[in-house]
Structure 1
Amino acid sequence: MHPIIFAVLVTAAIGAIALNWLSAGTSLLVGIAIALVSPHPWVTQCRSYSAIVLKVAIVLMGFGMEVSAVAATAGTTFWITLLSLLLALILGWALMKLLKVDSQIGLMISSGTAICGGSAIAAVSQVIKPPAEKTVVAVTVIFLLNLVALYIFPVIGHWLELSQFQFGVWAALAIHDTSSVVGAAAQYGDQALNIASTAKLARALWIIPLTVILSLILKPKGMKVTIPLFIVFFVLAASSRSLIEANLVFDWLSDLSRYLLKIALLMMGLGITKQTLAAIDARPFALGVILWIALSISSLFLVYLIT
């Protein structure tokens, strides 16, 4: 399709988001529809810019939270986060052997399920140094499951009559990428969004001990472990809310974060291609699905235990 038509469709979608006509989930769906109907050469850019916009949205979201609430949520979810992480890694290893999935692909899918999707896969790939095609398989499996989670988790949450707190924690534990966590929680309610964002960022920090342990086992050369900067800025934003009297400005920045979240999800959808969907191998996909279902059920059980 002509680039002008693609540009018109994207502009119309952004306008609909600005007018608040599209929810977070619908924004992603519109992006996918545009990408499949109107193939374009900017797939890589859409994916990379989506990640950047999402991180900015998360940082701005911090201006709508009190740092004490952030700390309380992180403390409350520490043990169930650790338990769900260990379960995902151990079960992922067992399923990898059972299904005879390539060990590098299996480790990346298990890590992405256990911690935070694509970010965990990227961190682990720095340690195990897989071929590019293996990383693509792992990322694609996680990405497709994220799309499913974005839509079915709010439905299941309402069906189970989960509270805002329960759903926020469950989404943070059971959904892979931060984008889908905040997207699903945004559809459930503002309190769920705040809880999910905080718990998810606390979960993301487990990338650090995981990569350190892998590096000690594999001893790769030149591997560096870093703390994601957007998490640091999120904490600073939440801290500023408690220290500075500028609530009107902070409320505006918090509202802006929700707009940017929808833009990020739209761009994520624009990064989908027919080739991406056709490249999935059955065994890695089966590993991802079974592991994700097991983590979703077990983490929901843990959420019920603490509430």
Structure 2
Amino acid sequence: MSQNTKQFAIHEDWTVVILGFLIIGLSLSVFLLPVPVFKWANYAELVEDVFGYVNLKIVLQQFIYLTTIGTLGTFLIGKSVKNFLLGFPAVYVLTVVALTIAGNGQVKALNLEAVIFSLFIGLFIGNFFTLPTWFRAALSTELFVKIGLILLGTSVIFSDILKAGFLGLMQALVVVVSVWYFAFWLCKKLKVDDELTMMISSAVSICGVSAAIATSGAIKGDSKKLSYVISMVLITAIPMMIFMPIIAKYFNFSEEVTGAWLGGSIDTTGAVVASGSLVGETALKISTIVKFSQNVLLGIAAFAISIYWTYTKNKSSEVIESKPTLRIIWERFPKFVIGFITASLVFSFLVPIEIRDATKDSLKNLQSIWFALAFTSIGLETNFKDLLNSNSKKPFYVFLIAQTFNVIITLIIAFILFGK
């Protein structure tokens, strides 16, 4: 974290709540940001659709919009606005490159999300080029991540949760609780540090990248450790996506059981969709329902983790001998979690469905671009060597063992709930 350059400053979590609901308010009543096109299958479509005048105009509008929101946020938290304005264009351009790569038809067929390319582009540049100190200090990773998480709340609709069905919700709950606790216990046994313990446990049990990001925000985790956990999620998701459908077919699992197994085991939504598609329509439907049910638990999990972390870890010096008071817990509780839950409640019960449908694509795009910007920033500020040193072996082993446990326990539960 860079030092504040102004005396005036608002806590970062309150800042992202303000910015998140500013974006939501603008989208609902003032200005609905158009969605740029990054989808292309050949050179002609790349030139005409992605790099065409109309689309570049939308990309420029998006850049101005994001720069304005980001500048406001930088000012409110007391960081250098000048450095942000100098550094953000580079971060945005790199992120657009990542979005363009991810928009290729062959890449999309592999269900590789833009954040993967954002992360690795950032890692490449951050590790092979010397970046100015002011540029690294100007990166606003946490700001971008938390704005994206609040916007994510607009897509968690309670009526959709009910559609997921009782069995999907039950499996999600049992898997999340059992796998999270196992991963947590294993991390403690192998003496993995507390921040990595929380991020690994959430990532392997709930919904991979999004859970790791939400947990990191809830405990104010180190971005380098977050980068490491995300890398593990992405590395393991691809082979699981390929080999689990093959195993299911070899042992003649039903599509219902296979779908429940895939949806509960694979950490990224894109990989779940890809693997379910390899099995069949029924498997795809059930795998999506189960994965969505797990995603729904993200807000509840982030809230619970926030309370646990604040109460047990963030002890001020004056209360070393006793548990923190409710006032201290409130002061240190990550307020962006409240923003996430509030956004979900507002869009579930107050926003008419026709308005929700009209704003869905634009808000989804904004959520995705904030996440992509955050991943680019994470890559730029992370030393790749740190991810491969000897100190990283234990967390990696924990992740693999916990993921194996996840695969086994989810298969057992899938047979119990969905087997005929």
TM-score tier (shorter): 0.5 to 0.7
In the other structure, the counterpart of 2:412 is: 301
Alpha-carbon deviations, 1:62-100, whole Å to 9, x = none? xxxxx99x8464311222221111111111111102222
Could you say which residue in structure 1 is the equivalent of 2:250? 159
The two structures have a TM-score, normalised by structure 2, of: 0.49
In structure 2, do the counterparts of structure 1 residues 222 and 104 end up closer, same or farther at CA, with 3 Å as the change threshold? closer
Q: Does 1:186 find its partner at 2:277?
A: yes
After superposing the two structures, state which structure 1 stretch, 139-148 or 218-227, moved more.
Answer: 218-227
TM alignment of 1:18-167, pairs within 5 A: 24-25=109-110, 28=112, 71=162, 73-167=164-258
Amino acid at match of 1:182: V
Partner of 1:279: 387
CA distance in 2, matches of 1:211, 1:22: 31
1:258-285 deviation line (CA, Å, top 9, x unaligned):
xxxxxxxxxx9xxx99x86982421111
Determine the structure 1 residue equivalent to 2:399.
Answer: 288
**How far apart in 2 are the matches of 1:127 and 1:78?**
24
C-alpha distance in structure 2 between counterparts of 1:303 and 1:212, whole Å: 27
Instruction: Give how far 1:302 is off.
Output: 0.8
Deviation at 1:223, TM superposition (A): 2.1
Kept after mapping to 2: 8 A contact 1:104/1:128:
yes
Q: CA deviation at 1:222?
A: 4.3
Distance apart, 1:221 and its partner CA: 3.9
Retained in 1: the 8 A contact 2:218–2:334? Answer: no
Specify which of 170, 176, 198 is matched with residue 267 of structure 2.
176
RCO greater where, 1 or 2, for CA within 8 Å and sep 6 or more? 1
2:299: which partner in 1? 208
**Shift in alpha-carbon separation, 1:279–1:177, aligned structure 2, 3 A:** same
Alpha carbons 1:109, 1:142 under 8 Å: kept = no
1:223 aligns with 2:335: yes
Compared CA separation, residues 160 and 87, structure 1 to 2 (3 A): same
Q: Which amino acid aligns with 1:132?
A: S
Distance across 2 between alignment mates of 1:296 and 1:103: 24
Please give the root-mean-square deviation of Cα atoms over the aligned residues, in Å.
4.8
* Aligned equivalents of 2:199, 2:305: Cα separation in 1: 12
Q: Is the 8 A contact 2:168 2:289 kept in 1?
A: no
> C-alpha separation between the residues in 1 aligned to 2:334 and 2:295?
22
Aligned length: 255
Q: Alignment partner of 1:162: what SS? A: coil
What is the CA–CA distance in structure 2 between the aligned matches of 1:84 and 1:300, rounded to whole Å? 10
Cα distance per residue 1:127-177 (max 9 Å; x no partner)? 111111111111111111112211111111111212222111111111111
Which residue in the other structure is 2:85 paired with? none
Paired with 2:302 and 2:163, the residues of 1 have a C-alpha distance of: 26
Taking only the aligned residue pairs, the percentage that are identical comes to 21
Report the AA paired with residue 300 of structure 1: L
- Return the alpha-carbon distance in structure 1 between the equivalents of residues 174 and 336 of structure 2: 26
2: CA distance, partners of 1:303 / 1:184: 16
Q: What is the distance in 1 between the residues matched to 2:342 and 2:240? A: 24
Task: Supply the distance in 1 between the matched residues of 2:342 and 2:400 (Cα, whole angstroms).
Answer: 27
Gaps of 5+ in 1: 1-6, 43-47, 60-66, 241-267
Bigger drift between 107-116 and 75-84 goes to 75-84
Stretches of structure 2 lacking an aligned partner (at least 5 in a row): 1-41, 47-99, 127-143, 311-328, 355-374
Contact kept, 8 Å, 1:120 with 1:207, in 2: the verdict is: yes
Decide whether aligned partners of structure 1 residues 223 and 119 sit closer, same or farther in structure 2, where only a CA change above 3 A counts: same
Of structures 1 and 2, the larger Rg is shown by: 2
Deviation string for 1:35-79 (max 9, x for gaps)? 99xx9769xxxxx9xxx9xx99xx9xxxxxxx99x8464311222
User: Which amino acid is the alignment partner of residue 283 of structure 1?
Assistant: K
Which piece of structure 1 moves more, 217-226 or 100-109?
217-226
Cα shift readout 1:168-198 (whole Å, capped 9, x = no counterpart): 1111111111121112112222222222112
Amino acid at match of 1:179: G
One-letter code of the match for 2:196? I
| Structure 1 residue 212, shift from structure 2 partner | 1.5
2:370 corresponding residue in structure 1: none
2-structure distance, mates of 1:229, 1:216: 20
Alignment TM-score, normalising by the size of structure 1: 0.64
Q: Which moved more, 1:82-91 or 1:213-222?
A: 213-222
